[in-house]
Structure 1
Amino acid sequence: MNFFEYQDRARRNSGLLIALFSLAVVLLIGLTTLIAAAAVAYSRGQFFSPLDIEQLLGWQTVGSIALTITIIVGLGSLYKLHQLDTGGIAVAESLGGRKLNIAPQSPAEQRALNVVEEMAIASGTPVPDVYLIEDQAINAFAAGYKPSDAVIGLTRGCIERLNRDELQGVVAHEFSHILNGDTRLNIRIVGWLNGILIIGLLGHWLVRGIYPNRNNRGRAVLFGLGVALIGVGYTGTLLGNLIKSAVSRQREFLADASAVQFTRNNSGIAGALKKIGGSSAGSNLSNGRAAEFSHMFFASGLKRSIFNLFSTHPPLTERILRLDPTWNGQYPSGASPTPQLQGRESNRPQAAGIAGTASFQMALDAVDNSIANPSEQQVQYGRQLLQSIPVSLQQAAHDPFIARALVYHLLLHNQAPKQRAQMALLKKIAHPAVVREMDKLAPQIKALPDDARLPLLDLCIPALKALVPQQYQIFKRNLIKLLRSDEIIETWEWALYRVLMHALEQTPDRQRLSNKKGASKDASRFLLAAIAHAGNNQYLPAKRAYEQGLKFLSLDVTPLPSRKDIGLQHLDKAIAIAGQMKPLEKPALLKAMVHTLNHNGVIKAEEIELLRAVADSLDCPMPPLLPVK
């Protein structure tokens, strides 16, 4: 099953979750109705039978109970989903996490950040925010609605007690959840189940408020109602754990298998699980909100109780044996801290050859088999790509102020006259200190290979997310002025800009979408036209490339828009419409782009990165293509 099939199945899984949630609400309504009928029968001194509900309550009362429960659950769910509308950041901050991307404070934190950055580059995703949870338990989580707003959380025990291979296995496991869309489902589970659990919270509130003063009949009735709601709430807890278990356990096995596939090292993730079993802290988090997010963790974050009958994670022993069938069942005697590193990481590979061109078949295979599915070689290549970026540029990318200078420079035109005009514009509109940083870093940026530019941009994203709203709006306005400065938007410049906006702006502009019949076909045509012009300065070769892409999509041939018609607003609208395509429709569009790029038999490195940038904007993370040997 490839990425697109998995995404399609994820949509169906959302339907299953809605069905389970609806069933849970129906069961709560039924239980509440039974309790209410039993209370009425008791007050009348009658024997209670479920068959007497109509006589005891009447259908109008039953309907009122159903409506009340539905409203309470609905409001509770909407409230929690609103709290989580920022995606993974809301989860990480709820657990007390501290962001590492901008200022790691120890070698262990720097190593953890490096591992996440390497995996992001290898996966073709923006570098996620990395949060440290101050807990000695060995655990991790991934959260977010999509790769562009994803967060990786790592506990103190995880980054200090695991060696590099084990940490990489854990991070690869969490990236599997991000790439396969599990994190979106996990956040929805938290939101929807909050509505079910809130009934029990209302019961606790009533009991705490009434208990000291329950001297009259009215207060006793309210106290009894509170106790009844607590009972219903515990039922909701059981149902919630059952729903989590139904959608989570098998996905943990799949994520383990994907981590092994990414790293080709089953001993890494198996070693991490063994250290959890041998550690006194285990994987149990001390944070009081761990139960709320228990299904998101790498390993169970809760102490064993009766509710582990519905555990969201398979037993450690079962997971380890699947990864290491020769395991003797013995856990290491305590997970001793990993030796601290001196300075930056040592024993890291030097940058290897960077891909200059790609074959047509290689690019097609990447669409079919590599999207959201990096191989071991691509993970290693991602590490090499990171090493091809000078340390000074990596450090600059982690600084919110200097990261802006890097992005401005990446968007400069490669022709000297236009570049000089853009620099003159930046000196007028950008902060003077940012312009000075651009001049200082210019030689190193110019020396970067073509396919290291997109990874460098990805490294900047966590720092740019830290800009305050006013700073961000000025930065975005300057980017748009920079792109429009020469009146013609170069497709590569737009692709970098779109990758950036896709990662930084979590709420898409709905005004760009269209309900017009055939809108997706028009958007596909426009994107193919932009791709055709990107690889050809002359009209006739661009026209042939454009028609080649249309032919693959079986679209009628229409006149090729001129290069001047490829404007920023039209490009953004086309990509927004294409992004709404169904998962199984997207690979055809990406393959049509490959056919367009291949019109002359050669796909250059810059064109490969253009394809990857467009794929990223369509929520189809494409790993970097391996160098041709």
Structure 2
Amino acid sequence: MNFFDYQDKARRNSTLLVALFSLAVLGLIGITTLFIALLTHYSRGQDSASLVQMITELGWDTIAGIAATISAIIAIASYFRLRQLAAGGRAIAESLGGKKINIAPNTLAEQRALNVVEEMALASGTPVPDVYVIEDAAINAFAAGYKPTDAVIGLTRGCIEQLSREELQGVVAHEFSHIFNGDMRLNIRIVGLLHGILIIGLVGGWLIRGGHFGGRDSRGRAALFGIGAGLLVIGYTGTFFGNLIKSAVSRQREYLADASAVQFTRSNRGIAGALKKIGGHTAGSNLQATNASEFSHMYFASSLKHSLLGLFATHPPLAARITRLDPQWKGFRATSRPEPQAPSGAGLAGVAGAAPVSQLDQAETHPGATGQRATNNTYQAQLNQVMETVDNNIAAPSPTQLEFGRNLLSRAPESLKAAAHDPFAARALVYGLLMSPEQQALQLDILTRSAHPAVLREFAKLQPALAQMPEEYRLPLVDLSIPALKALAPQQYQIFKRNVIKLLRADGKVEVREWALYRVLMHALESTPDRHRKIDTRKNRSGSVTDAQQFLLAAMAHADNTEYLVAKRAFEAGARALGITPVPLPAGSDITLQRLDKAIAIASDTAPLQKPLLLKALATTLAHDGVIAGREIELLRAIADCLDCPMPPVPGTSPAGAASTGCLSAHTS
């Protein structure tokens, strides 16, 4: 099962989850109706009767009122909780007391953990997620959010200090699989729905307290107490069944995430070693936060000490998971001693952890590093690499791509890496990445008039490094900058966004390379889609999606072709690969910024199992002229990113600095 299959399954699981909880709500309505029927019957001092007679005595109006009340209570409570979690993973991490470390890690262990997360993000072609450290001695972790662009990874203090680097990589790879496989959105929905059912029990608790401390009327207090006790039982009955559903869904997904982590790291030693260490660790994986149980199904390992006959276990037993990963395992050995850390004299910069690679490895995993194409890097090999990446490496980087992520992080200029982790300098870094030699004077004038003076000073410091920076660092540096840019205050962000757009439009047109960077940036920073761009497409959704897909093919055809006929042939080849009849190719001047943004917003509705076909059609279009330029790969990566298909770097393609003259009109269409 690949990334797209997982995405499709996640959609079906969401539908199944809603159906199961709907059945639980119906069960709660039935139990509540029965309770009120019993209470009403015996409060009148009537003789014994059958349950059917008691319910009939209530009348259908009363039963309908009960159903409406229970449904409303659950719906309002669920909506309220989901609104609290609207910020995505950040809200969950902060509710557990997490501290974000992307901008300023304080210890060697925190720096090492951040390096591991950044390496995997760069290898998979995704923005670096926010990383939170939870001050807890237990060994545990979680991924939370609605989609990759708002995902966070939480790691306990025990996790980052007790595990070796290889084990930490296994844990982080496990959490990345949850990010890619659509599990996070389902997890948050479970939290909201469970809260809706639990609220009935909370109301019961309030009524019980009212029965103890109410007015002087003893009968009134008794009635409140009785109703409260009944609602308490009803509420926890619903929670019982809700937890059963949560546990059943989570257990199977943990096995899948373990397998994905092995595929991600190409080793079972790391994740198996982490699970073994949890079993022998004094604190185990049991989190101490007061609300830790609410998110129990999100963790790397179970945070609950006991569960009724395993019914409430949100994770498979540790032994079962370890045995699947390491059939030769002989059992737990107690350990509470932390893994040796890097010597204190090494400094934070020395903990990157990337193993030395040979010159051959560097040439294979770092395209453009030698300044020329490798002799055996033929066009067909390049095309095979692109198709292999689209077919098999979306959200599943190859060992070469993982090595690329490590090498990229370790070899990137220190000044640029440091800038990517600072909110002020990150803005200057993005401005610098958007600069073009031909328009630099005009763009600098724009920044002088509209950017913060401190940002301008940072930009001046970065200019020498930016001038010498290989172009293949452009999108990875944007990915590294995302956590720092997310830390901007709303007003700072709006000024930053306006300046980005001004730089794009400085010369009256937008180059393909500029648009690709802009889309990756905006998709990561503004996770809510542009809903207004889809309003006029609702009546004919399937046709609109097809039109949007063809427009993206047209943009790819014009990206590196100045001649209309050459672009037309590339466009038609892509349309055939997509299985549609091509429309007349729009002129290059029709490929505007606004139209591309709208096409991306509409094409994001493409069904998960249809997305690989679209990406392969785009790859066919870009490769049709016999040259695969790095800027075309950037455009393909940007489109894949906006379709929520994390696309790793493509080793073996020509440098990103290859000639490309494709431009977009900067004016409205």
Normalization by structure 1: what TM-score?
0.96
Partner of 2:143: 142
Partner of 2:387: 364
What amino acid does structure 2 have at the position aligned with 1:598? Answer: A
Aligned pairs (5 A) from 1:273-292: 273-292=275-294
Aligned pairs (5 A) from 1:328-347: 328-342=330-344, 343=347, 344=349, 345=351, 347=353
Partner of 1:348: 354
* Contact 1:162–1:338, Cα closer than 8 Å, also in 2: no
After superposition, the C-alpha distances for 1:372-402 in whole angstroms (9 at most, x for unaligned) are: 1123332222111222312221111010000
* Contact 1:360–1:602, Cα closer than 8 Å, also in 2: no
Partner of 1:72: 73
1:86 aligns with 2:107: no
Inter-partner Cα distance in structure 1 for 2:4 and 2:467: 36
What amino acid does structure 2 have at the position aligned with 1:321? Answer: T
After superposition, the C-alpha distances for 1:318-355 in whole angstroms (9 at most, x for unaligned) are: 11111111111123333435435531316523572322
Q: Secondary structure at the match of 2:261?
A: helix
Partner of 1:492: 513
Inter-partner Cα distance in structure 2 for 1:20 and 1:580: 26
* Contact 1:98–1:133, Cα closer than 8 Å, also in 2: yes
1:531 aligns with 2:556: yes
Q: CA deviation at 1:213?
A: 4.4
Aligned pairs (5 A) from 1:225-236: 225-236=227-238
Partner of 1:452: 473
Q: CA deviation at 1:558?
A: 3.3
After superposition, the C-alpha distances for 1:282-313 in whole angstroms (9 at most, x for unaligned) are: 11111111111010000111221438422111
Inter-partner Cα distance in structure 1 for 2:328 and 2:470: 44
* Contact 1:40–1:56, Cα closer than 8 Å, also in 2: no
What amino acid does structure 2 have at the position aligned with 1:349? Answer: A
Q: CA deviation at 1:42?
A: 2.8
Inter-partner Cα distance in structure 2 for 1:234 and 1:558: 59
What amino acid does structure 2 have at the position aligned with 1:9? Answer: K
Partner of 1:222: 224
Inter-partner Cα distance in structure 2 for 1:556 and 1:186: 40
Partner of 1:620: 645
| Distance of aligned partners of 1:202 and 1:263 in 2 relative to their CA distance in 1, 3 Å threshold | same
Q: CA deviation at 1:627?
A: 3.7
Aligned pairs (5 A) from 1:396-415: 396-413=419-436
Inter-partner Cα distance in structure 1 for 2:52 and 2:30: 13
Partner of 1:588: 613
* Contact 2:352–2:410, Cα closer than 8 Å, also in 1: no
* Contact 1:142–1:177, Cα closer than 8 Å, also in 2: yes
1:374 aligns with 2:397: yes
Q: Secondary structure at the match of 2:335?
A: coil
Partner of 1:425: 446
Aligned pairs (5 A) from 1:105-120: 105-120=106-121
Q: CA deviation at 1:45?
A: 4.8
Which piece of structure 1 moves more, 384-393 or 164-173?
Answer: 384-393
Inter-partner Cα distance in structure 2 for 1:130 and 1:435: 28
Aligned length: 627
Which piece of structure 1 moves more, 49-58 or 81-90?
Answer: 49-58
What amino acid does structure 2 have at the position aligned with 1:313? Answer: H
Which piece of structure 1 moves more, 39-48 or 496-505?
Answer: 39-48
* Contact 2:268–2:326, Cα closer than 8 Å, also in 1: yes
Partner of 1:316: 318
* Contact 1:261–1:376, Cα closer than 8 Å, also in 2: no
Partner of 1:27: 27
Which piece of structure 1 moves more, 593-602 or 291-300?
Answer: 593-602
Partner of 2:3: 3
| Distance of aligned partners of 1:498 and 1:290 in 2 relative to their CA distance in 1, 3 Å threshold | same
Percent identity, aligned pairs only, is 62
After superposition, the C-alpha distances for 1:402-429 in whole angstroms (9 at most, x for unaligned) are: 000111111122xx32233222322222
- State which of 324, 327, 337 in structure 2 corresponds to 1:325: 327
Q: CA deviation at 1:628?
A: 7.1
Q: Secondary structure at the match of 2:567?
A: helix
| Distance of aligned partners of 1:305 and 1:515 in 2 relative to their CA distance in 1, 3 Å threshold | closer
Q: Secondary structure at the match of 1:310?
A: coil
Partner of 2:190: 189
After superposition, the C-alpha distances for 1:161-184 in whole angstroms (9 at most, x for unaligned) are: 111011110000000000000001
Q: CA deviation at 1:108?
A: 0.6
1:512 aligns with 2:536: no
Inter-partner Cα distance in structure 1 for 2:472 and 2:71: 53
* Contact 1:38–1:48, Cα closer than 8 Å, also in 2: no
Inter-partner Cα distance in structure 2 for 1:305 and 1:617: 41
* Contact 2:282–2:335, Cα closer than 8 Å, also in 1: no
Q: Secondary structure at the match of 1:423?
A: helix
Partner of 2:244: 242
Inter-partner Cα distance in structure 2 for 1:563 and 1:486: 17
What amino acid does structure 2 have at the position aligned with 1:281? Answer: A
Q: CA deviation at 1:539?
A: 3.1
Inter-partner Cα distance in structure 1 for 2:580 and 2:265: 40
Inter-partner Cα distance in structure 2 for 1:293 and 1:338: 31
Partner of 1:568: 593
Q: Structure 1: state its 5+ residue gaps.
A: none
Q: Secondary structure at the match of 2:438?
A: helix
Q: CA deviation at 1:361?
A: 2.2
Q: Secondary structure at the match of 2:614?
A: helix
Q: Structure 2: state its 5+ residue gaps.
A: 369-376, 655-669
Aligned-CA RMSD value = 1.9
What amino acid does structure 1 have at the position aligned with 2:305? Answer: K
* Contact 1:275–1:335, Cα closer than 8 Å, also in 2: no
Which piece of structure 1 moves more, 178-187 or 231-240?
Answer: 231-240
Partner of 1:611: 636
* Contact 1:238–1:307, Cα closer than 8 Å, also in 2: no
